[in-house]
Structure 1
């Protein structure tokens, strides 16, 4: 992805702000995202109803279960459009099998009821992570998963409310002279059942782009926080500005920066004392004077103003029909019965949620007690060390016996980049022998792990080695031979720099 072509301002945001940014994505590209969603959801809706025509009541459940399939094409479009690309419908149709395949089996089976699927889908679709790599990557990105769960619940409720609103709007348009029993039509006839399913389809189509975009925005925000995309974009723009200017322009830029820094510096104590308008010019206000000023402010009409608000409230009387002689329409009776059923179901779900919460609380408490016991005894089980990090093999058998000597040899052959990669791989292998690093960790997270495993000397060398590697891997700036030689000369410090 080309960060310089991004169509939004990338900066770390709170989860709520990230969700709001996702809704703005959906508003900007809603027609295209809806088209990509309909590209898979429309045929699936027809196929499901064709297969279940004799059992139409099960068709909405089958269509709902296949939702992860429909969300892949809109996410594919959004991930490209945000970075300046607009994939065509024809090319997307040709690549649909490749777009839909990553993680689809798990999303339609054991992960189908996961409330965080909008946040986890980009990991499988855009990063191609599967199995343990997917779990490790989600663990690294995991601080926004709680928001993703609430996101799924809120959008599900909004979709149900939208479907109910469409039904009420359609019922209100039915002429009273037709004497149509709406509840019987919707529940006991084939046309009514198809109408219900079509209304649910329309509600899902309206909500889906916002749901996909909000989950993708949460994922994008975590990438920005972990990888510093906003800083990278600013540094690139600053570099382009400096490289495009003349020497005099660069000097002027530096002088302006120094002038701004000096202008913003606080005054010296002598200058502050000499300023008659400074904070020392007036005597401190006493409690009585302060109280009088407060009362004066509160006596202003802007404070203490009284307003009368009138609003309507529902006061439902179950005996209203019998007392007044007014007959409530059957459709509203059906809605009241449906509301009672939903209330009972909600009570059951709340008790179930409370039970699940107690279970997880006890489970985590036991895990915490085991961790405390392991800390006291000094034992800490470690999982298997990853064999590959950032695409680099970090197993000991993939390294030569004399790492500095091999690096000097590669540098002498005019391959300083390969020499640097060898030194960095060897440094990662040494670090993995001391601390546990997840396979989905970034270079910055590995560097933070090294802070607790190395002393000051070894930590400084590994920090310099990481910075040189990042400039080469992402900035395409090969290190000078002198830098590689200096790293080879100081290499024993990394071996000795243990705590």
Structure 2
């Protein structure tokens, strides 16, 4: 690992700031990352779904693609780990990432390590540092640790949420193209298509949507985890200081020739012979010694020399004052007064050895209270429903009579419509046959709609088909009146929601005035 070739600014960052740096790196090398991603995952997606189509097991193909995420995660990690140190790989080189990293860590990532929530940070430790066994566990613990696990798990949950939002958005986007009058029928159709009896093509479309969402989010997930890994190593190993010292050493090495040249020049000048003027007397050894003795006699004696030569140490008052001022400086010897409350009783050794035991006791007490409330609620529910659940036991062993079967019968309708549909429907409503009255009103409205729209309906046409055919009616008021009759009939037929007397009378008068039934 060549720190001097690193392409990002290494400095201690907060976890989320480091992850933002990882997202920027993914955007910088997006072309290489996603081309390699699709080159590996798209053929595998096609093979798995084709095999699942033949075996009628398409849900398992989607689960398999999700489970193989660690295999695909090696591609963005390879690109970023090479690019951050100055050598961005090509797509062909990126596709060889599993072979370069080896297959040892892949077995762990696809088996017992697959549910890990810190995969984005732990995978760089395994693949980039080359540690194994106990050393690998120690490195994972040091990098992820207590400080890194929370942010790594938060990143995992955040990316899972984004994937779910993207997948559900693709499904719900279908409703943007559905007219409002067909929205309820379309929602029921989608529910039946996806959850009750989904066909093969629906499962295949869902697998493609989930794979697309995973392909969009997963490279950002690994990029954020890799940047967080670099930030943790910067914190633990002081990479920023090491780079600063390396730059300083480089500058010093560049200044060495200049310093050597300067020293050589000074030495040459010191050894050059001096030319004495005629007025100067020659310097002899006796004169040099006498001059040195005179200078020593005139020089002031320091306290250490006085202690050696004299019987006692003579302290200078000004020096003592300066020392006292230095010791009184708050920057050198800071002091402050702090008041606080202290308990009269002292905690025992076990409690003081574990400072978090108080918080643990509070959570334990809350959990215990919640369990007791749940138990009491379950007991009350059992006592409240025991007579309903164990009815024969309360009746002395007598069997409870089974309720009479519900009689279902079709609404009797005349073969031909009456001349005055409005009067006939009102008569049925007054006799208490509300469903028959609404059915007659619906049949009469459909007949008038077919005449005015010049449409042909197949036998057994649904309400939605009738609404589509009613768009050909030239009058907008006729179309609105017919849509209102259809909605009221649907509420009565499928939701057992009957209108009140005023609502029925208003609907009857509007339909009669629009379709010519009024006397």
TM-score between the two structures when normalised by the length of structure 2: 0.46
Greater RCO (CA < 8 Å, at least 6 residues apart): 1
Which has the higher Rg, Structure 1 or Structure 2?
2
